Amino acid sequence: MIYIKDLMSGIDIFKALSSEIRIQILELLAKNQALNLNDLATRLNLSNGAITMHIKKLEESGLIEINTSVGKHGIQKICYLNKDKLMVDLRSKEVENLYEVEIQVGHYSNYQVAPTCGLATKDSIIGDFDDPRYFADPQRIDAEIIWLTEGFLEYRIPNYLKPNQTFREIQFSMELGSEAPGFCDNYPSDIFFYLNGIEIGYWTSPGDFGDARGTFNPDWWPPHLNQYGMLKLIRINNEGSFIDGCRISDVTIEQIQLDYKSELTLRLAVTDKSVNKRGLTIFGRNFGNYSQDLLARVLYDVHETEVVLPKRTQRSLVPKS
């Protein structure tokens, strides 16, 4: 996802989107995942020179990515969507009151998994398929794809707030799917989300997709395995908890009782609570259709004086099974 924090920083993207031809190019890439310049020129009835000009503007704006490959007819330039979501914050006035971190999917701090399961770096499988022991392998920090049928992955998010700052909203963006042996496009799975042990809701993944090759999958990744997921945006603020703008619970950031001293722990889980218990796959930067890992974004308010924290009962960070 491309996040434009203020209008001025998005000028290059807005200029790129001002052309109907360039909009059509983006629509074609969204539908076909990848096309070379000749394919685009033919479909839009444009000359090679004209399509090259439009592609250059889209690439400079960051909306598309171009890779060079050698084919039957020589060197080809293959075009991909760089991201498939664009979010513009029209209300943001104090863009400095925000920080974000990208965490590799292998940097989980705790886990519990049941086969089918596994993990892989961009270069190879870690250990063997369906052997939970390899989730403790030191190489797992380099994992770019992880899958499990039942259990959880837990990630610690850094808290950079100062004593005079308070949380306004926390966002998580990640590419997710179900987990079927091989793949199955119709394979719903209920994936639950927890923040500091508090359940904030769940999302039902429609399937474990393998109908087309993932845009960023390494060449060695087998075609009979899952290929890509869906990019999801989770938001927790004082109005509730949301996924892609749809409310998933009434749990607010105030109810989670966060402050500048709080640890932040995100858990993704498929448990006995899941009516559709068909696993979880999380895709990193070098797998799937989105060139990103787990992205965490914190929006906060700044106060003139240090915030006095009320006494409260400490909550358990581990949700009940």
CB 143 within 8 A of CB 120: yes
Residue 7 has what pLDDT?
74
Average pLDDT over residues 259-270: 97
Question: Is residue 316 pLDDT above 50, yes or no?
Answer: no
Torsion of CA 156, 162, 165, 167, to 10 degrees: 0
Residue 6: band (very low, low, confident or very high) from pLDDT cuts 50, 70, 90: low
Residue 83: band (very low, low, confident or very high) from pLDDT cuts 50, 70, 90: confident
Q: Which helix (H) or strand (E) holds 264?
A: strand 264-270
Q: Where are the alpha helices (DSSP H) in the chain?
A: 11-16, 20-32, 37-44, 48-61, 253-256
Question: Is residue 317 pLDDT above 50, yes or no?
Answer: no
Residue 4: band (very low, low, confident or very high) from pLDDT cuts 50, 70, 90: confident
Which class would CATH give 2-81? mainly alpha
Q: Which helix (H) or strand (E) holds 170?
A: strand 165-177
User: For the chain, which residues make up each domain, given as ranges?
Assistant: 2-81, 96-302
Fold of 96-302: Jelly Rolls (2.60.120)
Residues in Cβ contact with 307 at an 8 Å cutoff, skipping those fewer than 6 apart:
163, 164, 165, 166, 259, 260
As a whole number, the mean pLDDT across the chain is 90
Residue 179 has what pLDDT?
97
Q: Would you state the structure tokens that stand for residue 116, as one six-digit string?
A: 């089918």
Residues 112-124 have pLDDT tens digits of: 999 999 999 999 9
Residue 308: band (very low, low, confident or very high) from pLDDT cuts 50, 70, 90: low
